[in-house]
Structure formats: C-alpha cells, structure tokens
Structure 1
C-alpha cells in the first residue's frame, strides 16, 4: 500500500473412445469438487483466502529489516512465534485463515530473518496460508526493483525454504508501478523461470500499476497457471457511486476474477463509519461495500489492509485503516476489532 501517491484512473491462461470417456467420467465422479477446482487456478475460485495484512508500523517500504507491528528486532524466533500465535488467535476468531507478510532484501538471509520466520512458521503450523510479498526498497525506488541480483538471491532463499510448504504462496513484487505493463510482465515471467521451485499455482502475480489492473496479466499466457494479486482503494480514484465502484472493480479484474485475490483493500476503521449502511453516501463505505460484493459475487478471496501496522494517521500512532487495535505486552498480545460493521462486511466479502 502507498497512500501518499495521488492516482487518477489508470491508463496505464487404442481403446474404445466411448469406454475411455465412460471410465474417465466414472473416475471424475469419485473426486471431490474442491479437489477438481483446486487443481488449476485458471478455473478455481479463490475464497479459500480469508486474510489480513500484517505490516510494519510505518509501512513496509523500507531500506532496513522489516519488523512487524508488535514485534521487536531483539525478539528471538521463539518470541516471534509466541507473539504471532497470540495475534493469530484473535484474527482467527473473526474467520481469518491467511496472512500476507512483507519481505525485502534487508530481511531475508539476515539474523533477523531467523527470528522473523517464526511469524511464517507459526501461521503454517496452525494451517494458515501465508502470502510472502516483496516490498521495494523504500518509496524512493519508484516502484522498481533496485537490485535484481539481491532480489533473486532473496527469493532463492525464500523458495528454497518454503517451496515445498503447500501453505506458503509467493508474490514476486507488491505494486510494481515503476514498470510499464510490458516491462513488468517480462520481469515477472523471468522470475517464474528463474525460481522454478515456486510452483505457478502458489504464485500471485500483481496487476499492472499499483497492482490495480489485471487485464494485461490475465491475457498473457505466460501466467495462465498462476494466481493474480489485485489492489483497489477508494483513494486511487475520484469518488464514485456504489454501482460505479462495482463496475470499475469488475472491469479491472478482466476475465480473471476466478484467479484473483484482492491482496489489498481497506478504509478507515476508527472513525465510526457504518459499513452496514447500504444507503450511505460516504465514499469509503460505498467502496468497501462494492469491493466485498464483487468478492462475494466472484467467490474471490482477499487480505484486508491492514490487520495492524501501516502508516500512522496524523498523531494517532496507528493507521486508521487498521482493523485491530493492539494491546498487551511481551508475548501476551491482544487484538480488538475497531469497527464491528467493517469486520462483518469483510467477512461477507469472504463468503462467511
């Protein structure tokens, strides 16, 4: 997420034939529908992803180690696991089964990485899915990878460690807005060729721009076996009606809603907005209601931005988009929902 950027509308996959068919159909009938749909992302809904982003307080664009909100760089792996489990307990209470976590070249492979992995391992141990997404090295890098060699080394480390873990998913880059569509698709395709242990079915390729348009990615056969990462915020665009938001979102999903995960969407959760109000004239309410309706209509999953962390709003000390307020100390951490109607609407989008 990058909330300081003002965006305008983007311009930016010799037996009798009869006996063979009958045998195939009989065998197919014995396979659960969920298994069939999960075999290829190209034809599968993605609402198995019911998630939240766990972010750094101050956002994830950094030229240093990524220390998630609630963690300390002095924490051991065991401490990180204990803290993460306390937070995941509270997330799971509202239906979360997925967490999207940031990585960068200043975290992976360092001493802090040995501890940071506790957040990943705690999640997968409880059956959560984990989306690991690369954040560029600070906002000054302009939405481009500043060091391709370091980026590839980072991903080699990550995919070597988690390539065989079926609960871990890989997102080569968050919001690749510094690249043209053609450039980004080449970068992403090269990444897939290089990091072959990241199977396409567990790879999420971000849309063009701020991951806000999937159409070019969707139509590129090099990504036909992957999942797709989509972002949509009200502040990306001018104010719209609820119906206009729904149409806008659906248009930018192209023909690939069945493979898309809305890995970022969010709105203020600390200002008392009523996300249950279908007749609200508030642009944030209309937006969240529209995003979650499109998700539900298309059986799409999503990871709300953020559970905690993010860019502090004013002098509040927290991002007012954050779903939870963090309290407690040590490993005894607790999360409290900031807005019940917002929580309920997110759950509605997940299909709950």
Structure 2
C-alpha cells in the first residue's frame, strides 16, 4: 500500500479548512478573485497527443510511435527530444499528452518510458499523463480499480511535485453515467492527494464531450477540465452549428478547460483556410479553433504521431509524418493549413 492510500479521508477536510481560512484572509478581495485555480486562460497549453500506432486501447504496455519496447531510458529521452524539437520548431508546441495504462506503469517499460516525460519537462514542456482503459473491449470503464489506483499512486508519487506534469484520471469515460463518472473522479481526487487539484484535468461526460455536469459539481471547483470534440461525434454541420454546439458543451467553464483531443484529416489536401463552408471537417476545425482562440483555451491536437492506422498504415488525422531512424527522428507537417489553424486556436 502506497503512502497515498493512508490519508484518503482527510483530504476533503483539509481542503475545507484551507478554503475557510483563505476566505477569511482574502474576504476584502472577493470581488477581484476567482474561486477557480484556472480563472485565467488555459492557452499556455499548446501541444499534441503522442500515441501508440494502432491507438492507445491496449492490453499491453503502451509504446508510442517512434519508440521501441527495447529502448533504454536514455534512448527514449533522445528520441523524445528529437520529436519535441520538431513539434516546437514547426508549430510552436510546448505541451505533450502521453498515454498510460496499468500495464505500462507496472512493467519494466515504465522505467524507460519515463524518459519521454522527463525530456519534455526538462525542456520546459508541459506533460499531460492520461489513463486509457486497458483494452478496446472495456466499454469506457476502468477495467481493474485496484490496478488503476496502484498505477496512479505510483505515477503521482513520482511526478506530483513536478509543476509541469498534469494528471488526467481517465480518457473518455463513456461507460459511466454522469453521476457515476463524477463519483469516480471525485474519489480519484481524494485517493491521489499527491496530485494537486490544480494540475488534475477531469474529463467531461461521455467521450469527454460535455463539461457542464463537471463544471456544475463543486467537488471539482479546484481542478482543470478536459474536453474532446470531433466532427464525427455529430451529424454534418455548418460552421456556426459546430461552433455553437462546442460552446454549449463548454458550459461556463472555458477558462478551466483544455481541448485535449480534436482533429480532422490531414493527408487529403483539405484547405482549412477555406471559408466556403462546403466541407464538414473544414467547418469543424475552423469553428473549434475560432472558439478556442476567443475563449483563450489551450489544446493538444489528436494526434501528432500514432493513432488508428486503418488500411493506410497511419492515422489520417496525424499532423506529422515520421522519418529517420534510431534517435535521429524527424517530423514533417502533412497539411500546413491544418497546422496554421492549430496555431490560430492557440492564439499565435
């Protein structure tokens, strides 16, 4: 049993006492401050998802594209630095969202995989560590709660003190009702107190689509929020229907939200600068990046590398093509107009 597991009942009490003390000390300033730690914009998050080729739903340790399960810690660091160099130089990225599962963290691979985390934080990148359910047939629910908590205890004990590492308890918790998911997420905050609330990203309900139930639950007032939005979630829409739907699902919590997944085809020559309004993917990308820019929201595009391969050997949403060998890895942008819209959403 980890040290985290001994103090679960006291965390909410400590939070309550700290809240009372802070309210007394800062009472004259109440009209000038926000109760949320993320009252300011979140657009300091400018980044990408780095995924396993074939997607992150796996019953094995996760090895993101470009890495090999035989790599050492130093090799992973060198490869990761090559990837991050190009993410930064081509589009100005400063954030990476990395997947974990229970098999990853409980295996020897974790000791090497940490090189991708450490390389990012050492260069000043933010890192979002997000849990993917352990297998595609898990139905959007945590497969093994004991293993899940053991995993997160290990991760938060190791990185809870690193201010550049953020923790997303679960990616797309669509197997839970709204009430069930909120209870699971609130229990996670209680259980894993090494992860500060202000660096926890709680996913919206469904496929992390809707923040309104989370935003309205006071148990999450101190956290950040994670939202996903894809054109395929909904019927074909024009620009304003995409934008209004996304804005509605943000609720009143855009200032605390990071768009941790969104994307569209980058391999078929779509012009994401076009205002013709004839393509559903273009309408969607223009709508969500305009909304993010206006709201001051950060994002991590899905994906930089990795993801579903289909019959072409790579994810057609992937922003980059990977070339090179060994630790000499190189990224090239698949669609410059798509990259431009991503930067636009970041406020660049």
| TM-score (norm. length: structure 2) | 0.90
Cα-to-partner distance string for 1:183-224 (whole Å, 9 max, x where unaligned): 000000000000011111100000000000000000000001
| Deviation of the 1:41 alpha carbon | 2.8
User: Are 1:41 and 1:258, in contact at CA under 8 Å, matched by a contact in 2?
Assistant: no
Contact 2:80 2:116 survives alignment (8 Å): yes
**Cα distance in 2 for residues equivalent to 1:259 and 1:336:** 32
Residue 40 of structure 1: CA displacement? 4.2
Aligned residues: 322
Match of 2:282 among 275, 285, 308: 285
CA distance in 2, matches of 1:287, 1:177: 22
- Please tell me whether residue 304 in structure 1 is matched to residue 301 in structure 2: yes
Q: Which moved more, 1:162-171 or 1:275-284?
A: 275-284
8 A contact 2:77–2:118 mirrored in 1 = yes
Question: Which residue of 114, 117, 125 corresponds with 1:117?
Answer: 114
For residues 116 and 277 of structure 2, what CA distance do their matches in structure 1 show?
38
Give secondary structure in 1 for the equivalent of 2:44: coil
Matches within 5 A, 1:107-146: 107-146=104-143
Aligned to 2:264: 267
Matches of residues 149-168 of structure 1 in structure 2 within 5 Å? 149-168=146-165
SS in 2 for 1:108: helix
Spell out, residue by residue over 1:14-34, the C-alpha distance to the aligned partner (whole angstroms, 9 max, x if none): xxxxxx999x79xx9xxxxxx
For residues 41-56 of structure 1, what are the structure 2 equivalents within 5 Å?
41-56=37-52
Q: Is residue 2:344 matched to residue 1:348? A: yes
Matching residue of 2:14: none
- The one of 81, 84, 99 equivalent to 1:85 is 81
> How many angstroms apart in 1 are the aligned matches of 2:193 and 2:290?
35
Q: Deviations over 1:106-158 (max 9, x none)?
A: 00032100000000000000000000000001110000001100000000000
Contact 1:234 1:283 in 2 (8 A): yes
Gaps of 5+ in 1: 1-12, 14-19, 29-35
Equivalent position SS for 2:299: strand
Q: Is the 8 A contact 2:239 2:277 kept in 1?
A: no
- Would the alpha carbon gap of residues 241 and 42 (structure 1) be closer, same or farther in structure 2, given more than 3 Å must change? same
| In structure 2, distance between residues paired with 1:21 and 1:192 | 27
- Summarize the alignment of residues 1-352 of structure 1 with structure 2, pairs less than 5 Å apart: 40-93=36-89, 94-314=91-311, 316-352=312-348
TM score, norm. by length of structure 1: 0.89
| Offset, 1:67 | 0.3
- Match of 1:9? none
Please tell me whether the aligned partners of residues 42 and 224 of structure 1 are also in contact (alpha carbons under 8 angstroms).
no
Determine the structure 1 residue equivalent to 2:11.
none
8 Å contact kept, 1:54–1:307: yes
By how many angstroms is 1:313 displaced? 3.0
CA distance in structure 1 between the partners assigned to 2:93 and 2:38 by the alignment: 24
**C-alpha contact (below 8 Å) 2:42/2:255 kept by paired residues:** yes
Q: Secondary structure at the match of 1:131?
A: strand
- Do the aligned residues in 2 keep the contact of 1:143 with 1:178 (CA within 8 Å)? yes
RMSD: 1.8
SS in 2 for 1:139: coil
Structure 2 stretches lacking a partner, 5+ long? 1-18, 20-25
Maintained 8 Å contact 1:289/1:345: yes
Contact 1:83 1:331 in 2 (8 A): yes
Q: Distance in 2 between matches of 1:331 and 1:302?
A: 27
